[in-house]
């Protein structure tokens, strides 16, 4: 899996940062791409990447503020022009269907693919093939949600030495045993996979948080994440301002990661009041609490291993 940040700014676009959008590529697992939020000009940002709009088959909207959804009508229309025919599913708060359908209807846009809408609420659970997505309502001025993406566990490794010990040398039987509950052999009778497979390997956990005030109660939702993507609209000196506007600071995001056994934190949704020269200071504020932190910039890309 791989994440590409298409927009990392808060509120309004700036010369250095577009507004919110990120893409989660599942090329090996699903051969698809999931988009989280779609701020204004997201489709322009995509042009600077290798992402193909027709590969995006799911869009997850955290909340309905304009800097997270104003890019949707244009993207959906362009996806049609660029050969997208596969159904697209949009997950988001109540109102997302009305917003999209009104935009499409009034602009008389004609899409070459169907859209399926699922309006989420606190506690929603989404099952998607190899993934389960849990939804949690956060603390923002309007309903805003976090998405916890849990990949299913991988089968354990075949215990080759154990097979060799009973006289089974490498060959087709190895593959048959790994892919079946049991197999029949002439020399060894019935062999059960559970007896020759090591422990399962844990799937990855990614948490993408929408806009929110810091709440220590969010710890359970992000617990043990391999990657936490969290907003950091303000710096540590602006905690009162952050609370007033329902946002978080750099250090609040880091505190949540530090208290939740998170492996890696990426902070994003940076206010346009901060300029390039200040980014290192913002990052250092977070790293004082949680060293394994990255401050995302537009087009920052990272693999989730």
Domain boundary pick from 195, 220, 244: 195
Q: What tokens were used for 59? A: 């869009």
Same-domain pairing of 26 and 173: no
Which secondary structure element, helix H or strand E, spans residue 97, and what is its range? Answer: helix 96-106
Same-domain pairing of 40 and 131: yes
Same-domain pairing of 182 and 238: no
Same-domain pairing of 165 and 221: no
Same-domain pairing of 106 and 46: yes
- What confidence tens digit (pLDDT) does each residue in 11-70 have? 999 999 999 999 999 866 678 999 999 999 999 999 999 999 999 999 999 999 999 999
Same-domain pairing of 132 and 172: no
Same-domain pairing of 102 and 184: no
Instruction: Pick out the chain residues at pLDDT < 70.
Output: 27-29
Structure-token match 């492996």, residue found: 263
Nearest Cα to Cα of residue 144 among 96, 211, 60, 233: 211
Q: What is the DSSP letter of 154?
A: B
Q: What is the DSSP letter of 109?
A: -
Query: How far apart are the C-alpha atoms of 109 and 30, rounded to whole Å?
Result: 29
Domain range for 70 = 2-154+201-303
Q: What is the DSSP letter of 123?
A: T
Give the chain's length. 305
Instruction: Enumerate the active-site residues.
Output: 67
- Determine the pLDDT at residue 84: 82
- Determine the pLDDT at residue 187: 81
Same-domain pairing of 208 and 90: yes
Query: How far apart are the C-alpha atoms of 9 and 120, rounded to whole Å?
Result: 25
- What confidence tens digit (pLDDT) does each residue in 91-101 have? 999 999 999 99
Same-domain pairing of 271 and 137: yes
Q: Which residues pair with 171 in a beta bridge?
A: none
Same-domain pairing of 191 and 207: no
- Determine the pLDDT at residue 210: 98
Q: What is the DSSP letter of 249?
A: B
How many domains is the chain built from?
2
- Determine the pLDDT at residue 266: 98
Same-domain pairing of 99 and 232: yes
Domain boundary pick from 195, 214, 249: 195
- Determine the pLDDT at residue 27: 61
Same-domain pairing of 178 and 212: no
């Amino acid at each position: 899996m791989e994440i590409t940040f298409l927009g990392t700014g808060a509120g309004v676009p700036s010369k250095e940062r577009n507004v919110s959008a990120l893409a989660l590529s599942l090329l090996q697992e699903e051969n698809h791409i999931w988009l989280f939020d779609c701020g204004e000009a997201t489709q322009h940002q995509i042009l600077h990447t290798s992402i193909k709009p027709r590969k995006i088959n799911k869009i997850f909207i955290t909340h309905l503020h304009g800097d997270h959804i104003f890019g949707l009508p244009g993207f959906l229309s362009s996806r049609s022009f660029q050969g997208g025919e596969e159904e697209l599913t949009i997950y988001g708060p109540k109102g997302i269907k009305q917003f999209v359908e009104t935009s499409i209807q009034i602009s008389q846009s004609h899409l070459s693919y169907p859209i399926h809408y699922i309006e989420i609420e606190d506690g929603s659970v989404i099952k998607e093939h190899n993934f389960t997505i849990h939804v949690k309502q956060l603390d923002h001025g309007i309903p805003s949600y976090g998405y916890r993406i849990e990949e299913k566990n991988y089968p354990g490794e075949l215990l080759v030495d154990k097979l060799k010990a009973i006289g089974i040398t490498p060959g087709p039987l190895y593959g048959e045993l790994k892919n079946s509950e049991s197999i029949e052999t002439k020399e060894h009778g019935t062999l059960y996979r559970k007896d020759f497979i090591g422990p399962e390997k844990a799937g990855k956990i990614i948490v993408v948080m929408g806009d929110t005030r810091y709440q220590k109660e969010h710890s359970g939702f992000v617990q043990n994440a391999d990657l936490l993507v969290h907003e950091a609209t303000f710096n540590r000196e602006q905690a009162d301002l952050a609370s007033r506007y329902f946002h978080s600071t750099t250090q609040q995001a880091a505190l949540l990661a530090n208290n939740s056994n998170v492996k890696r934190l990426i902070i994003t949704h940076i206010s346009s009041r901060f300029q390039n020269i200040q980014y290192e200071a913002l990052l250092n504020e977070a790293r004082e609490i949680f060293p394994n932190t990255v401050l995302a910039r537009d087009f920052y890309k990272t693999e989730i291993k």
